[in-house]
Copies of this chain bind each other. A is one copy, B any other.
Amino acid sequence: MSGKLKLYYDFLSQPSRALYIFLSKNEIPFQRCPVALRKFEQKSPEYKKNVNRFGKVPCIVEDDFRLAESVAIVRYICQKYDVPSYWYQTNNSIGQARIDEYLSYQHLNIRADVSLYFFYVWLNPLTGKSVDQEKAARLRARLDKGLNFFEQVLLDNGNKPFLTGDQFTYADLSAACEIEQAKIAGYNPCTADRPHLSNWMAAVRERTNPFYDEAHKYVYRLTPEHIPTPAVPADDD
């Protein structure tokens, strides 16, 4: 099957980045199929018909098999390819349950907290929509609350180095890619009052580089200067 796996992605999509990094870090050969969200390519009838009926990224295609949703894809890849067990705690039902719990939880929490802020504050003005400052403040407060919960409860104020315990897993990578997105909208998740979240993000980046930086280069370029980001790697495309 090597070389037949196609990944449809855009680096401006959080789960696309997580999956790209996951596949690259595990040296799983895949064909890069970029999809330009800014051109709405994911909504074209061809894309919906031939790639992903949901009209979203990421998606994989392997011969006739098409699979959407990054979490489903990671679970499938872990079953089919030779992936080190720590990523998804294969052979450890309790550890795996903790990963599943986070990956299910994040949709309507961290992912929603970040996405709602990002769309309202950054994307709306680009499409000519006005921004109500009161609503922006509400969404910002929601994101503050979500990230404070992340710091205090999920990372247990630094007593847990990673989301599900002592070991780095796919849950960490997925969460970090979600949180990076907020930077584009001028929100700094790694403030001095969230030292554990900042350390954890640095650890996830270190664990998955050089692919983490490669996947985040556009995020960092779009981030306003007052928000600290790692140096962007030289562009080769």
Measured CB to CB, the closest approach of chain B to A14, in angstroms, equals 12
Residues of chain B contacted by A108 (CB below 8 angstroms): 107-108, 111-112
B76 near A100 (CB under 8 angstroms)?
yes
B153 near A68 (CB under 8 angstroms)?
no
A100 touches which of B54, B75, B97, B153 (Cβ 8 Å): B75
User: Is A80 an interface residue when CB atoms closer than 8 A count as contact?
Assistant: yes
- A107 vs B108: C-alpha distance in the bound complex, in angstroms? 7
Measured CB to CB, the closest approach of chain B to A175, in angstroms, equals 15
A93 near B76 (CB under 8 angstroms)?
yes
Closest to A115 in B: B108
Q: Given the interface contacts A54-B105, A107-B108, A153-B53, does A72 sit within 8 Å of B100 by beta carbon?
A: yes
Q: Given the interface contacts A75-B96, A79-B93, A93-B80, does A67 sit within 8 Å of B107 by beta carbon?
A: no
Residues of chain B contacted by A75 (CB below 8 angstroms): 96-97, 100
Residues of chain B contacted by A100 (CB below 8 angstroms): 69, 71-72, 75-76
Closest to A153 in B: B53
- A36 vs B100: C-alpha distance in the bound complex, in angstroms? 26
- A70 vs B101: C-alpha distance in the bound complex, in angstroms? 8
Closest to A111 in B: B108
Q: Given the interface contacts A72-B104, A107-B108, A112-B108, does A97 sit within 8 Å of B67 by beta carbon?
A: yes
Given A65-B94, A70-B104, A72-B101, list of 19 further CB < 8 A pairs?
A54-B105, A54-B109, A67-B101, A68-B105, A69-B100, A69-B101, A71-B104, A72-B97, A72-B103, A75-B100, A76-B93, A76-B96, A76-B100, A79-B96, A103-B104, A104-B107, A107-B107, A107-B108, A108-B112
